[in-house]
């Protein structure tokens, strides 16, 4: 098979297309022929710093959609030919920038038939992050005020929709050109994120720190018992000084099933900004790091 690998830390240029053996699924694991691979900020942060993977060589990527090509002993959830999406092994190495990937069967869910592989390939990591923030960590209730910076981004656009499904009053930030889009996703108010001025906001129940470095500004908007949820490890120290918590997404079959159900009922939609061939992973990273994407970037093997 073909996969993207790197031998050193560095810029997008360190990503290279190589040949490798197709992995073999172990007990309780499935082998997935990938049809779409989500590109996420954690991918380029790992590429440059090693992140949870340490020193190269390694292959980045976790968010996938595809077709089950083989099953290991003990698997009962899926059969060969099933269409699935998931978040295998996160934050351990999954090696998802590849034509095949293995992972525990319960790190996957059935792909909703109404979603393309590209849409499903962008749902697991971003969707589970938003779901675990809003439904489990903050436990958003109807009528609460939820602030979501970068509301047109990968996590942000799904967080807007999931918060609205909870009955929240959603305030998003985005560039002026994306305000109509963010409103169409369900936001009640949209601010210009280039101004990055939250001084007029008050009585926020939950602020989702999708962008690193914003903790003090977001904390200032909270009501007395409000909560900031940080999604970036860079903010780990900052949240200790405010009413905040750092959350790292986890693989979760039940959560994937919830997302699949919402997608099946057309209650959420996954925005795909651009699809790149697997060989152009470096170009996808360059675009993602520029910070101007709407929704998700996808690699197609």
> What does the pLDDT look like over 149-200, one tens digit per residue?
999 999 999 999 999 999 999 999 999 999 999 999 999 999 997 765 787 8
Give dist(CA 120, CA 107) in Å, integer. 14
Give dist(CA 44, CA 23) in Å, integer. 24
| Average pLDDT value for the chain | 96
Give domain 2-123+270-300's CATH architecture. Answer: Alpha-Beta Complex (3.90)
Q: What are the tens digits of pLDDT across the range 74-126? A: 999 999 999 999 999 999 999 999 999 999 999 999 999 999 999 999 999 99
Residue 258 exposure: Cα atoms within 13 Å on the Cβ side: 16
User: Tokens for 16?
Assistant: 């290279």
What pLDDT shows up at residue 121? 98
Residue spans in the chain of domains classed CATH 3.40.50.720: 126-246
Question: Any idea which fold 126-246 has?
Answer: Rossmann fold (3.40.50)
What pLDDT shows up at residue 200? 82
Taking residue 35's Cβ as centre, other Cβ atoms within 10 Å add up to 22
- pTM for the structure as a whole: 0.96
Residue spans in the chain of domains classed CATH 3.90.180.10: 2-123+270-300
């Amino acid at each position: 098979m073909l996969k993207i690998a790197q031998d050193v830390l560095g810029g997008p240029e360190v990503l290279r297309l190589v040949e490798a053996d197709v992995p073999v699924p172990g007990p309780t694991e499935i082998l997935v022929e990938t049809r779409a691979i989500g590109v996420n900020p954690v991918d380029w942060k790992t590429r440059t710093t090693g992140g949870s993977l340490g020193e190269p060589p390694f292959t980045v990527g976790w968010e996938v959609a595809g077709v089950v090509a083989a099953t290991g002993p003990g698997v009962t959830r899926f059969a060969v030919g099933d269409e699935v999406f998931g978040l295998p092994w996160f934050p351990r190495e999954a090696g998802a920038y590849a034509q095949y990937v293995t992972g525990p069967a319960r790190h996957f869910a059935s792909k909703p038939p109404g979603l393309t592989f590209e849409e499903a390939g962008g749902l697991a990591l971003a969707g589970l992050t938003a779901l675990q923030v809003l439904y489990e960590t903050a436990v958003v209730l109807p009528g609460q005020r939820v602030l979501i910076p970068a509301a047109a981004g990968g996590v942000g656009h799904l967080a807007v929709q999931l918060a609205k499904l909870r009955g929240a009053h959603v305030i998003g930030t985005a560039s002026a050109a994306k305000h109509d889009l963010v409103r169409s996703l369900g936001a009640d108010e949209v601010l210009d994120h280039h101004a990055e001025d939250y001084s007029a906001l008050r009585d926020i129940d939950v602020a989702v720190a999708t962008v690193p470095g914003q903790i003090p500004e977001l904390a200032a908007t909270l009501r007395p018992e409000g909560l900031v949820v940080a999604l970036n490890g860079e903010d780990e120290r900052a949240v200790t000084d405010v009413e905040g918590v750092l959350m790292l997404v986890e693989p979760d079959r039940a959560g994937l099933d919830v997302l699949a159900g919402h997608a099946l009922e057309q209650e959420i939609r996954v925005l795909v900004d651009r699809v790149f061939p697997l060989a152009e992973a470096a170009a996808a990273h360059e675009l993602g790091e520029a910070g101007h994407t709407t929704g998700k970037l996808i690699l197609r093997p």
